[in-house]
Each structure stands twice: as structure tokens, then as C-alpha cells.
Amino acid sequence: NHTFSFTILHTVPSNSQTSINRRVCIIGGGLAGIACATALAEHGFEVSLYEARKHLGGRAGSYQDQGSNEIIDNCQHVSMGCCTNLQKLCRQLGIADSFETQKQLHFISPDNQITSFGESWLPAPFHLSLAFWRLPYLSFQDKKLFASGVKALAKAPYSELRGEKFSDWLHERHQSPELINRIWEVVLVSSLSESLERIDAAYAKKVFFDGFLANRKGWRVEIPDVSLDDLYSQRTLSALQEMQVNVLPNRRLRRLEIAGNKVIQAADSNDNYVEADEYVLAVPHHQVTQMLPTERRDHPLFAAIDKIETAPISSVHLWLDRRITDLKHAVFVEKFSQWIFSRGSSKNKENKQTHRYQIVISASRNLSNMNHDEIVETVMNELKEVWASAREANVLHFRVITEKRAVFSVTPGIDELRASQATHIPNLHLAGDWTSTNWPATMEGAVRSGYLAAENILRKYDIKNPVLAPDLKQSVLSRLIFGKR
């Protein structure tokens, strides 16, 4: 019914003042498209959101594992306190209560010791300094080197960092191999899903400054306590429908038709057409040019988008016959595994108690040479080195998932390829974490892009209300030491 009513929508006269020339077609139901739809619906626009799959959420999604019959997340998605726009969107959708804020992390050292890491009473940027100086797997000299390195990074202008390999930046500042492997790499590979030689130094600063130095809340990890499907598909769908957004899952729009300097309609593979006044492409970057007429693809804007590279993230889901740790999460240092998350316990098909854990490995290109049995064996051997109970555990079931295009790569010079949300075609807008947001490939970046696309459309209709949520306020001491953000 929803599909049919919208297909004929442009032939039905409307008496609503708010809907005249304010029809928006958003293609892509990930977080970027959801954010854009939410912002525009709040201002009375007639919004239709098209998603090729049956679920919303894009890469922040789940699926049913056939072996266990359980809903499992494609990959563990976490947020941080500095992600102010994702928090805003969750409040708008009524799903903010589904996150648990972690004020303490746990690090598993190279010699398999577990160290807790949390904030102290000190103000930012010193709120984590006491925990850092207590880390047992760094020498005193390395701690001094890191303090000087992170200060230099925070004070360096973004304009000077852009385009430089972060690995080169580290070597120029004499950061030791142990320090690089045990701090810089642990933080940046998990947050940017790239190796240090493929990271633009400006994005390394973004992670450390916004996440750890600007505000004491910025570093706090926020983990969903429900599945991503429940969060960003089912509950989000209900919220969007309450906002009068016309959500159309299982409707893949494959191409845009452009005449002159205007998109005139979108079409699916069966040549069913959709007309609107504004169009938002909120799809992965590698799908953008595929949706354009052939003669439009050589434009510099679109040619640059095609040059953006991607990086994989792998998740290893384990169903064990016993609990191996009481920790809800932990970070591995200098290990094959990078994060472990406890996903609770349940009964399997044979009515046996199972305990599920998810191990996340970012920038996982090296896994392509391993079969799934080898990956699971390597992970289990590491778990056995840390927890005695894991040595007796039996793997009842496992699933290895690799999202080959999990994130766009923040390679040196990436900002020259990232497109603005506005295009040279006035009624065509772009959204996606890969667009220009000054953020890396995160849920926050995706939401920001959707809000920025919405702001572009609102300005066209002389609505100047800001959509973006402000960043966390930079602390006084942080401003004095590093300068204003």
C-alpha cells in the first residue's frame, strides 16, 4: 500500500500548503538517510525514504544466523561521548535509552594481564592521565614520549597535518616501536580501521583531540544493549512512520534521470518512476556514479568519489559452552584480536546453555589468507592465554563475518575526494559518512552528513534553523594548552 500510494503521489493534487514543492526522495535507509529524513520531516517536508533491503540501518544492521537461529549484529557498533549528532538522532527517534555508557575500559596487555582504565576527578585534558601513567606495559620513557607526541598532535593545525602519512609523523617525533604498537595503533586502527601508513595525520588528531582531550565526556564508550536491527530498523521504522515519513523498504531505486541541470525522476529496474522536488543520494560512495546517466559520471565531483578506497572489518561470533569472563568488553594490545564483547547467554537448538562473544578485528585485510577455522582457532588460542576458563571451553558454533567495504579509508589526502552534500545539480544532494563532514567513517559522520544535506534543502526553502548539534564544549584547560578547537 505504501509503495502504490507514493508511486501515484505526484498525480494527486494536495491541499496542504506544506507539501507543495517540498517533496523529498531519499535513496538509502542507512543512518545518513534516516537522519536526513528525520530533520526534514520535523520541518513539514513530504519525505519518502527508499531502502533496497528489507531492513533500515545500512551497515549498522543485523541478520538471523541460521546455525543458532539468533539475531546477530553484522559488526559491533559503538558510539562515544563526542558523537553529539548521533545522540541527537537517537533522542529524536526515541531510542537513546538503548545505550549503556562505559566509564571504564579494560586493556589486555601483551603478557595477558588485564588493566582497567578510567577517568579521574581531574579536568580535561588531564582526566585520563592518571590511568595512562599506571599502564604497566609501557616504560616510563615511552610514557613521556607519548605525552610529548600527543601534545604536538593536538597543537598542530589541521591544515599542516592534512595529506601526511601518520606513520611518517610518528617517526619524525621519535615515537618508539613499542609505543606505536601499544598505544597509537591500538586506538587508531580500531577507530579508523586502517593501518597507520594509510591514515591521514589530520584524522589521527581528530580521534585523539575530540575523543580524549577536548572534553572529559568525549572518550566514554556507549554500547547498545539491544541488537542493531531492533535499534536502527524496527524501532526507527516506527519512529519515522510516526513522523509521517513514507518508508519504503525492499524498493531499490537504480538510476536518476537528469535533464539540463535538474533531476526529474528516479527509476527502479522495472522502470517504475518516482518524482520529487529534491533528491538525496544516501548510498555508499561506490554506488553513486552507478545511479547517474553515463554522460554525467565524468564530472570532477563524481570522478573524485570513485577514487575513495575502503577497508574491511571482521567479526568473529563464538558460541561457547561456558562463560569465560565477567567483563562486558575488553581491548587487546598487540594481539590478533582487537576487541571482545560479551553478547549474553541463551539456549541453543539442543536446549543447551550457550555464551556468546563477539571479537572484532578492524583493517582485517590479513584475514583474507585464512579460512574461518583458522581464524577461530587463532582467536580461541588468545582467549585461552588470558582466561583460564576459556581453556576448558568448547566452541558449539561460530560465525565469521567480514564486511569488505565496512568503512571508507582515511588515506592521506582523502579530503580532496570527499564531496560536499550540495552538488552542482541544485536539487541533487549527497549524504553518507564518506561525504565532507570532517569526521572519519563513523555513525556520527553518517548522521552529520544527513543533517548537513537536510540543512542544504532547508536553506533552499528559506528555512535557516540549524540542524547540526554542537560539539561538546572544549574545556578551559584544553583551550589554554592546545588552543581553541
Q: Render pLDDT for 164-179 as a digit per residue (tens, 0 to 9).
A: 999 999 999 999 999 9
Strand-by-strand arrangement of the 221-224 sheet: 79-80, 221-224, 99-102
Closest CA to 283 of 106, 100, 27: 27
Coil, helix or strand at residue 152:
helix
Length of the chain (residues): 485
Cα 328 to the chain's mean position, in Å? Answer: 21
pLDDT attached to residue 120: 96
The arithmetic mean of pLDDT across residues 443-450, rounded, is: 98
Looking at the predicted structure, is the pLDDT value of residue 405 above 80? yes
Coil, helix or strand at residue 140:
helix
Looking at the predicted structure, is the pLDDT value of residue 17 above 60? no
Neighbours of 324 (CB within 10 A): 22
pLDDT attached to residue 65: 86
pLDDT attached to residue 300: 96
Scan for cell 517533496, then name that residue.
23
For the chain, counts of helices (H) and of strands (E): 16, 20
Coil, helix or strand at residue 320:
strand
List phi, psi (to 5°) of 460. -60, -30
pLDDT attached to residue 20: 60
Q: Between β-strands 278-281 and 428-430, what pairing exists: parallel, antiparallel or unpaired? A: parallel
pLDDT band at 215 (very low <50, low <70, confident <90, very high): very high
pLDDT attached to residue 53: 94
The rounded distance, in Å, linking the Cα atoms of 59 and 153 is 31
Cα 124 to the chain's mean position, in Å? Answer: 25
Share of the chain above pLDDT 70, in %: 96
Q: Is the peptide bond prior to 157 cis by the omega test (within 30 degrees of 0)?
A: no
Q: Between β-strands 278-281 and 23-27, what pairing exists: parallel, antiparallel or unpaired? A: parallel
State the DSSP code for 469: P
State the DSSP code for 338: -
DSSP result, 14-75: ---GGGTT-EEEEE--SHHHHHHHHHHHTTT-EEEEE-SSSSSSTTS-EEE-TTT--EEESS
pLDDT attached to residue 316: 97
Convert the pLDDT of each residue in 180-197 to its tens digit. 999 999 999 999 999 999
Which contiguous run of DSSP H or E holds residue 115? strand 114-118
The rounded distance, in Å, linking the Cα atoms of 145 and 152 is 11
Q: Do the Cβ atoms of 47 and 41 come closer than 8 Å?
A: yes
Scan for cell 570513485, then name that residue.
306
Cα 441 to the chain's mean position, in Å? Answer: 5
Looking at the predicted structure, is the pLDDT value of residue 241 above 80? yes
The rounded distance, in Å, linking the Cα atoms of 248 and 478 is 46
Convert the pLDDT of each residue in 365-386 to its tens digit. 999 999 999 999 999 999 999 9
Q: Do the Cβ atoms of 419 and 301 come closer than 8 Å?
A: yes
pLDDT attached to residue 4: 30
Looking at the predicted structure, is the pLDDT value of residue 14 above 60? no
Coil, helix or strand at residue 374:
helix
pLDDT attached to residue 358: 96
The rounded distance, in Å, linking the Cα atoms of 481 and 485 is 11
State the angle between helix axes of 443-460 and 84-93 in degrees (0 to 180), rounded to the nearest 10: 70
pLDDT band at 64 (very low <50, low <70, confident <90, very high): confident
Q: Is the peptide bond prior to 125 cis by the omega test (within 30 degrees of 0)?
A: yes
pLDDT attached to residue 206: 97
Which contiguous run of DSSP H or E holds residue 85? helix 84-93
pLDDT band at 73 (very low <50, low <70, confident <90, very high): confident
Q: Of 115-119, 346-350, 352-356, which range is least confident?
A: 346-350
The rounded distance, in Å, linking the Cα atoms of 78 and 442 is 9
Share of the chain above pLDDT 90, in %: 87
DSSP result, 207-259: HHIIIIIS-TTTT-EEEESS-HHIIIIIHHHHHHHHTT-EEETT--EEEEEEE
Q: Which residues contact 15 (CB under 8 A, 6 or more apart)?
A: none
pLDDT band at 8 (very low <50, low <70, confident <90, very high): very low
- pTM for this prediction: 0.93
Report the chain's mean pLDDT, rounded to a whole number: 93
The rounded distance, in Å, linking the Cα atoms of 195 and 358 is 22
List phi, psi (to 5°) of 73. -75, 145
Q: Of 50-54, 62-66, 302-306, which range is least confident?
A: 62-66
